[in-house]
Amino acid sequence: MQITDADRRILRQLQAEPTLTNAELAERAGTNTATCARRLERMREGGIYLGQRAVIDWAKLGYEVEVSLRVSLDKTVPRAFDEFMEQARKIPEVVELQTFLGQVDVRLSVLARDMKHYQQLYRSKILTLPHIADIEALMQVAEIKSSRGLPL
């Protein structure tokens, strides 16, 4: 699907302020309401605009601790990767699962209410995941930027 500069302008404005009404969005993107709505719809159908997701502040729900776990898997086991991912997905406190090229194989973002809860999770749910060769933890101190926006 071909994307034009006008499309990019719309997405840029929408990214900056997702709650804009169609009229406000059109105005900021320098177009009219009908064109703006049509372009957005076209990008939705084309699978470029995937919708909007609510951002949850986990700390406000009592999850004060966020740890990023970098896991290397035992590559001598053929299904290590699939089996690990399958089990990791079942842990409710895991909010993100990423795979990498490079030194790290898999990264999990894990939420916990406090350090005691984290320790308990780490022992009972994380360390029991299959085929872990090595694991390193990075604890989040602060989130400086989290827009996740694209430089359109």
Write the Ramachandran bin of 64: left for phi over 0, alpha for psi from -120 to 50, otherwise beta: alpha
Instruction: Decide: is 2 part of the binding site for other proteins (CB under 8 A).
Output: no
65 within 8 A of 139, measured Cβ to Cβ = yes
144 binds other proteins (CB under 8 A): yes
List 110's β-bridge partners, or say none: 67, 94
For tokens 């089996």, the residue is: 83
Half-sphere exposure (Cβ direction) of 19: Cα atoms closer than 13 Å: 2
Distance, CA of 113 to CA of 123 (rounded, Å): 15
- Whether residue 66 contacts residue 58, with contact meaning beta carbons closer than 8 Å, is answered with yes
Shortest reach from residue 65's CB to other proteins, in Å:
11
Nearer to other proteins, 36 or 111 (CB): 111
Q: What is the per-residue binding string for other proteins in 96-135, x denoting contact by CB under 8 A? A: xxxxxxxxx--x---x------------------------
| Beta carbon of residue 88, minimum distance to other proteins (angstroms, whole number) | 9
The yes or no reply on residue 84 touching other proteins (CB under 8 A) is: no
Residues in touch with other proteins (CB under 8 A): 1, 3, 8, 11, 14-15, 18-19, 46-58, 60-63, 68, 89, 92-104, 107, 111, 136-152
